[in-house]
Each structure stands twice: as structure tokens, then as C-alpha cells.
Chain A
Amino acid sequence: VTLSRRELLKRASAFVVVARLRWLEPAFAASPNTVRRTLAALVEFVVGDRTLVAATTPRLIRTLDRFLPGPLPLSATAAGILDATAAQVKPGATFADLNPAQKAKVFEALEALPVESAGSIRFLVGNLPDLAAFLAYSTPLGWRRARYAGIAQGRSELKGYWQGRKAAEP
């Protein structure tokens, strides 16, 4: 996918209406394999742990596509935006081809888009890293990484009351 910055901006700004208007843009719709590869690269970039990628990437794709269903999946839109911007950072490259510094430049470029005309892109792209992180650390593997005690109905953690105060003064 290679789009000019102007084209990308125009098309991606409308990503939220693409699905509903059936304005399917073939050049903007990446194949499922490309989407998976691009978003797996995003997850790895964010969480820095290859073992979390396999568990997280399908969740990320499912979350995006369920967030805004339509003929053009939101995951493909997200991947298309990342790949098209990656090609500006390094001609001919996709997001997955980039090193971490170049991947960061993709986000820097997207976050520099004007809110007035590209607010929806900034919403989508702005939420990709934290969504990936949330999903990664919501998995049992993520819990182990975080040394989380796991699910329980309660904890033995009660330490009493500050200065013994159990009620505010009137």
C-alpha cells in the first residue's frame, strides 16, 4: 500500500464512515495476512515481548473489528494507516519492516496530523498502543510477566484503619 500523505489523510479521515457508506477502497484494504503481520509488529513494538504477541494479536484484531464492524474491517484500516505511513518513513517498507526508532517515527508522524482534519485518525492510532498493552497484560501469560496473583474472590490484605478512624467527623 503506497499512498501519498494527502491521499492517506483524506481516506483515513473518513475511516469511520467508510464501512457505513460502503466506500470500499481496495488499495486501502490489506489482506488478512498483511493485517496480522502489521498488527503483530505493533504488539511486539509496544509490549517488547515476542511470547505475548501470539496471544495478543488475534485479540487486537477481534477488538478492532468488533468495535466498528463493516465491509472494511477496522483492523485493516489501522494496518493500512500504519503501513502507508511506514512507506513514508522508509520508502517501500511496511510497518513490520521497520526498526523500533522507525516505528516510533510512524506514530510521531500520525500524531502530528492536524486534529481539525485528522481527528479520527488520531483517535484510532492514539488508542492502538494502549489497547495492545491492555490486551497483552490481560492474558494469563501477561499476568505471569507481571507476577500477578491471578483471579480470586478476595485477598488477605486488610491492614486496619488510618489512625484507627472508621468514620469522618461530623
Chain B
Amino acid sequence: MTLLVLLSISIVVATAVYLSLSRDLFRVVIGLSMLGAAINLVVFAAGRFASLTPPLLATVEDAPAAAVANPLVQALVLTAIVISFALLCFALVLGAALRAEAGSDDTRQMHAAEPVAWDADKPPELED
């Protein structure tokens, strides 16, 4: 189980790094969100795959009788998923706005914040 998860994490990380190094705006966003998914799996794997029993206690119990799944990592992953989903939505809207204004999704064309110098010796002037 651990080996299988490890293998899938490494495949997802490799794909994510490839995508986020791209010059295409949306590939960067997808790459970063895939990297987030891979790291969520890392968090999940950090809790070990000891058991598939849900970590639920009967009211009379103080501690589970048999091994149960680690509930902490589930809580951590849930938090991380919520956060990364919000950021993914934000990044997609931002990317769409940038694409609409620049007319291109090539990150090399993004020079509005850092204009190219018009003179080799002097830095460019910025708008206010």
C-alpha cells in the first residue's frame, strides 16, 4: 500500500513540476494544484496505513479496542484541501483575467508590472 502511494505521489510530483515550469499560464496553475494534491497524499501517507477501520468510538469506550485509521492526518488533509481549492479558484479567475487583458497566456508576454528597459543603461519608467 505504502509503495503504491509512494509511486503515485512521485508520478504526480513529476507531472506537476513539468507543468509548473511551463510558460503557459494555465499549465502553471494546474501544475501547482497537482503539486498540492501530491503533497496532500504525502500528509496522508505520513499517518501510516495501519488500518481501514474508521476511528469511531462507542460512547462507553475510552480508547479503540483494535487498530483504527489515523484521524489526525485526515483532519490535516481536509484543511489543506479546502485551502488549496480556494487558492486554485482564485488562481483560475486571475489567470482568466490576465488572459483576457493580455490576449495571450504566454508568461513571457507579461511585462506590465516590470516593463522592459527602453535604454540599455537606464531602467524603465513605471506608470503610477
Q: Do they bind each other? A: no
Binding site for B on A (CB under 8 A): none
Binding site for A on B (CB under 8 A): none
